């Protein structure tokens, strides 16, 4: 491998720090599944189905602008 551009991890701080040491130019992002699981931990069980359905409307869009519009709509609920 000549150059690593993107590193996807589960969001644990140790992985990010280690990857920055080995691949300082690489962009680090957190896996979508792990971001969703981490966010859902803070939602009441009874509200999770609605929360996850609304969250999907944000992460499935094709542009940042559409995601921001979806996010604004969801937080007004």
Q: What is the tens place of the pLDDT at every residue in 56-71?
A: 877 788 887 877 777 6
CB 59 within 8 A of CB 32: yes
Determine the Cα angle at 67 with ends 63 and 71, to 5°.
170
- DSSP letter (8 states) at residue 74: H
Considering only residues 10 and 64, tell me which one the structure prediction assigns the higher pLDDT. 10
- Could you tell me the pTM of the whole model? 0.62
What is the predicted pLDDT for the residue at 61?
Answer: 80
What is the predicted pLDDT for the residue at 45?
Answer: 96
Q: What is the pLDDT confidence band of residue 43, given thresholds at 50, 70 and 90?
A: very high
């Amino acid at each position: 491998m000549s150059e690593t551009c993107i590193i996807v991890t589960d969001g644990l701080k140790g992985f990010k720090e280690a990857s920055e040491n080995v691949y300082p130019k690489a962009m680090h992002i957190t896996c979508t599944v792990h971001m969703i699981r981490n966010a859902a931990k803070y939602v009441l069980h009874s509200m999770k189905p609605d929360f996850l359905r609304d969250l999907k409307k944000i992460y499935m869009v094709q542009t940042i602008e559409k995601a921001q519009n979806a996010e604004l709509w969801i937080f007004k609920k």
